[in-house]
Chain A
Amino acid sequence: MLESFVEALALATDPWVILYVSLGVFMGVTLGAIPGLSGDMAIAILLPIVFFLEPASALGLLTGIYKGGMFGGSISGISFGVPGTPGAAATTIDGYQAKLRGYPNKAMHTALYSSVIGDTTSDLILIFVALPLAIVALSFGPVEFFALYAFALLLISALTKGKVAKGIAMAALGILLAMIGRDPIGGSLRLTFGIPQLAGGLALIPVLVGIFAVSELILQLADAWMRKARRIVEDTKAKAEGLFEDYDAKADRLTWREFRGTLKATWIGTGMGTLIGALPGAGSSLAAFISYGLAQQFSRRRQDFGKGSLEGVAAAEAGNSATSGSTLIPLFAFGIPGSATAALFGAAFILMGMTPGPRLIYDHTAIIYALFIILIYANLVNLAMSKVLLPVYSKVAMIQSRILLPIVCVLAIFGTFAAGNSVVDVWVMLAAGLLGVVLRIYGFPLAPLILGFIVGPGAERALRQSLLIGGGDWMHLLSSPIAVGLYATAAAMILLFTVILRDRTQPPKPATGKEGSP
């Protein structure tokens, strides 16, 4: 045991391995920050490299990319309102509002710290308590998963105060959009209107980038043109414009007190993220949304959520990042890839001649221990490197939109195309952008739509699998104590927070221009 630990330590701290980890983190943060591109994609591209690198270096590189990408997605979410990765969609809700209120740096640092805390905790749980959690994860079958999805959808839909109906409508629309394509059970086509390119359904990246990014671009462009048009009419002089908008970098520092204020939300996110990450197929976006919803329900400053709350950023980002260690639990325990990332790590193991599964840690003790050590210290590399990069990125966030918008637009189209090598995806993205504009103008919340779209296929599959297994009896959905517990919790929370505690919340403020956007 000690011997293999020493061997693993030697492997993991080899200067080349550290270099590859750092390179990976840098690539991950940067790619994650580009809307549409994600760490997963970079891992997929770099997968063949494991044929040629030493196993520890290869795993170091992939781990670095993964962790960097996890956090990087929140940078563009906060800077441009465009989640750089699906997992960062929930971070965007409050992160972008924080930027609009002039404190992107605070939001990014909150995201970074909560991401590192969530990630490290999740890694420790992977290393020390993988097996018990893995057994819990296996007890999640279709019945339990459907309850979890229903729980998440109700929680997020009920979040937008005074707009519960709109929230539920948006979740339903999201599920409807997710149903386009092939019926997951029967295999027949539906809602494609005879368009063959829709047979595979709408891909997540274009919908995500379209709804958040393209709609934002269109609205900003409209706003800029409106001001220009007015200027022509009124013949007023434009004020001198520098590269940056009015931005006080000094005031935008995260204080110790503010950081402490976000810790509760961070721990909620860490707990939920670790748990949900271990469930095969649940995914980091779901973890982030549930964490965000719970943190809001348990926050003393609920009214700030949706308006740039740092707690909201912390919960979502911790929830997102805390899936990163635990998502490998089913892979190590049973050889089951629980997420796209875990599948890619599984493929990397296979390419290195190691079969994922319970034998992995016995057959390849040194390299797996080395991976564990890398998982932990890659978080520190991520922290250090992002600390250096963040001041630059938060300044980028405040660049004049007339310069920034075209760049983001090109990146969004490029990233979307690259994600699936598909031109159809680009059209889907533009259409989703128009839909986003309409929804924003009429004050529909976007988060439930995205969550509905993300969990829609899983929820439908889980429901129909449950009914198939239960012989068509709907009571089968209540046959599991876990499911009943989830339904009861959802009902209790909604009762508690919408009826009983209603008086504690503040009277609604007059709507500001940006309210209702994500």
Chain B
Amino acid sequence: MKSATCGILAAAFALGPLAAAADSPLGTDPIRLVIPFGPGGGSDITARVLAATAPEFCGPRIDVVSMPGAAGLEAVNFVRSATPNGHTLLVTDYGPIVTSGFIDEVDWEHSDWQPVMNFTEWLPTVYTRSDHDIQTIEDWVAVAEANPESVTFGHASPLGIVHLPLVLFEMETGLQNVHVPTSGGGETRSLVMGGHIDLGMTLPASIASEVAAGDLTALGVFASERSPALPDTPTFREAGYDVVLPAWLMIFATDEVPSETVTFLQDCFIEALASPTAVAMSDRVNAGISPLNAEESMELYMATVASIGSILREIGEIE
């Protein structure tokens, strides 16, 4: 229901210890982690682990601000137009920054952003009911080959992180499925469980317990290695389809932020996430945080820009 619940997740909450290191190059003004999604989702929860633990290492308080307006572009533009001093950062998956940078009319380029660090890699996973005829990647391919456009496939946000892997898979295999966009992971799941559609795509953490309980079956993961949350689920690569499109969750600064500030943030964020408190929190919320530094993140970011660009060109979304 639009942004009825989107909230200021911010200022009211000075939870971080105020024992700010006075010698922090960032001073005492709070750092804002702006997320282009509503509160309560995976990005929000992951960002909060950092917000709760990093002040001790970085100095100032950290607020998580949710701005889902204009399909996330409002958050991106907000960070873009903020003073480039490292106090306003964007936390996003590739949808609002890589995909939007290609298909939406924006006044920035992909190269106008620099990653500070990467939290995690999410592995898009195809799943269905455990009493459905299709139970493996091979079953799916067989049905789709026998009857093209007979399998209905639900996914959130067109061209986002749980849709593009399907597009890529179809490009590789030539299979055709009926794509049914939904309002989010919750709706996809209720359509799958209610028998209204055949397959859906989501991230492992949100179905792990149902898969363990035997209510849902995870067919396969679009990644180079299996997901720790779903150790029994094969990758598509294992099944012989080289389709790998993991989704990352990265912190970005604009390229105008001085590199020493970015380096400082990278160091203190990664240090904070390695602290016992952060590790315990990450385990508790199943966030699977394993940080990459700015340089590694940059590599991953540019690779994603290239691969998504080629998918979008192939399907005719861009020239």
Contact = CB atoms under 8 A, between A and B. Distances in A.
B213 interface: yes
B158 A187 contact: yes
B183 A197 contact: no
A51 B4 contact: no
A199 B70 CA distance: 5
B191 A142 contact: yes
B71 A182 contact: yes
Interface in B282-301: 284-286
Interface in A337-363: 337-341, 343-344, 346-347, 350-353, 355, 357-359
B75 to A, nearest CB: 9
B209 A357 contact: yes
Interface string A22-40: 0000000000000000101
B189 A336 contact: yes
B44 A196 contact: no
A485 interface: no
A52 interface: yes
B27 interface: no
The DSSP consensus for interface residues of chain A is helix
B52 A48 contact: yes
B220 interface: no
A198 B206 CA distance: 31
A445 B104 CA distance: 37
A200 B73 contact: yes
A44 B5 contact: yes
Given A44-B40, A185-B181, A186-B158, A419 B3 contact: yes
A337 B5 CA distance: 14
A281 B183 contact: yes
Interface in A256-307: 280-281, 283
Contact-residue bracket for chain B = 35 or more
B144 to A, nearest CB: 15
A339 B186 CA distance: 9
Interface string B171-207: 0000000111111001101110111110000000010
Contact of A280 (B178, B181, B190): B190
A422 B285 contact: no
B45 interface: yes
B1 A468 contact: no
A517 to B, nearest CB: 24
A454 B2 CA distance: 9
B275 to A, nearest CB: 14
Interface in B70-127: 70-74, 78, 103-106
A86 B194 CA distance: 28
B6 A419 contact: yes
Interface in B39-69: 39-41, 44-45, 48, 51-52, 64-69
B193 A359 contact: no
A72 B272 CA distance: 40
B5 A336 contact: no
Contact-residue bracket for chain A = 35 or more
A334 B4 contact: no
Contact of A205 (B4, B78, B197): B4
Interface stretch (B9-17, B133-141, B241-249): B9-17
A204 interface: yes
Contacts of A359: 209, 213
Contacts of A330: 190
A49 B9 CA distance: 11
A203 B69 CA distance: 8
Nearest to A351: B285
Interface string A367-378: 000000000000
A411 to B, nearest CB: 15
A187 B183 contact: no
Contacts of A465: 180-182, 191
A391 interface: no
B159 A38 contact: no
Nearest to A281: B187
Contacts of A457: 1-2, 183
B7 interface: yes
A138 B197 CA distance: 12
B69 A200 contact: yes
Contact of A184 (B10, B103, B183, B186): B183
A44 B186 contact: no
Contacts of B159: 187
Contacts of A421: 6, 8, 65-67, 69, 74, 78
A353 B285 contact: yes
Given A343-B40, A469-B197, A45 B180 contact: no
19 contacts: A47-B9, A48-B13, A51-B281, A141-B191, A143-B196, A198-B70, A200-B3, A200-B73, A203-B2, A204-B4, A205-B4, A334-B189, A338-B190, A350-B45, A350-B286, A352-B284, A419-B6, A421-B6, A422-B69
* Shortest beta-carbon contacts, A-B, top 7: A141-B196, A347-B40, A44-B7, A200-B70, A187-B158, A138-B194, A340-B5
